[in-house]
Chains A and B, each alone.
Chain A
């Protein structure tokens, strides 16, 4: 078998699917890093559950990408045998976890968007994606509830938890715009009703975030959404470290199974 890195097709549908699969895999990996470190036993389980939901979404999307690409790749090849430049996830999801507030604020910003995104995708003309969306929309609704409840409790909690939540929001805000930005190579898919233009979700997303932030006594930053590039494969240093951990076993022992 081939054991080196794979090269991706530039088919727009494959890239469209991989972008969301990579978001789910990378965020799921980040959340799984909390195993054994969560501030409460109860939260340990909650974060692991949410991590596994993301892993499940990633697997389903990779399988479908493999079917569409028809280049002999499987979900393992996508996850374990791509170099950082071939990963198409948002910069937001690859950010290191930071403290608990940082992890929760990121999950909140992302889930608020994804709950809208999956909801819209249930109407996709692509039957397979619409079916995946019907399942994912319930999972993400819960992720958003869990994250937003924590955001309110942290923001409206103690001076220390407010300070940490506000710091997290200030640091993550510049990364939040990438998921709201249309990708040029998805225009045709959007016109055909297969994909959706994330710009159309910008206002509803902002409304949800603004309303939660108000409850949490958090101040929305005015900084621009300056950090973008993951969707095109331009990643931060953090991504290399993340993949080193995620891919280690398959890179060191190609094709290993157990």
Chain B
């Protein structure tokens, strides 16, 4: 029921062991408090988290899919940007 009365919210959950909140989905709710409750009921029923963020979807500025090639293609052949050309000294061990 997407309507001005039931705006969309994005939900982020931090799991027990996780360091950062991760996006898990979205939902409709009338306001912040209801969005938090709905997020709890929808996304933490199986003990998935210890902290919830809800953010109005309208607050998120997204990149334009039509500009995908301009935005992301130039990075695809810059293999030198990956730190795989360094020789790691023996003493450092596993990195």
Contact = CB atoms under 8 A, between A and B. Distances in A.
Interface of A: 39-43, 45-46, 49, 142, 145-146, 149, 153
Interface string B31-52: 1011001101110010000000
Looking at B6, B27, B37, B45, the one whose CB has the most chain A CB atoms below 10 A away is: B37
A42 B28 contact: yes
B38 A42 contact: yes
Given A40-B6, A42-B29, A149 B34 contact: yes
A39 B30 CA distance: 13
B79 interface: no
Nearest to A50: B41
Contacts of B37: 46, 145-146, 149
Nearest to B37: A146
B33 A42 contact: no
Contacts of A43: 38
B75 interface: no
A42 B41 contact: yes
Question: Which range contains the number of B residues in contact with the other chain?
Answer: 10 to 19
26 contacts: A39-B1, A40-B1, A40-B6, A40-B28, A41-B27, A41-B28, A42-B27, A42-B28, A42-B29, A42-B38, A42-B41, A42-B42, A43-B38, A45-B38, A45-B41, A45-B42, A45-B45, A46-B38, A46-B41, A142-B40, A146-B37, A149-B33, A149-B34, A149-B37, A153-B30, A153-B34
Q: Is the interface of A mostly helix, strand, loop or mixed?
A: helix
Contacts of B34: 149, 153
B31 to A, nearest CB: 8
A140 to B, nearest CB: 15
A46 B38 CA distance: 7
A49 B33 contact: no
A42 B27 CA distance: 7
B45 A49 contact: yes
Please list the 9 inter-chain residue pairs (A to B) with the smallest Cβ-Cβ separation, ordered nearest first. Answer: A42-B38, A46-B41, A45-B41, A42-B27, A49-B41, A45-B42, A146-B37, A149-B33, A40-B1
Given A153-B30, A153-B34, 14 more contacts: A39-B1, A40-B1, A40-B6, A41-B27, A41-B28, A42-B27, A42-B29, A42-B38, A45-B42, A46-B38, A49-B41, A142-B40, A146-B37, A149-B37
A45 B43 CA distance: 10
A49 B39 CA distance: 13
Contacts of A42: 27-29, 38, 41-42
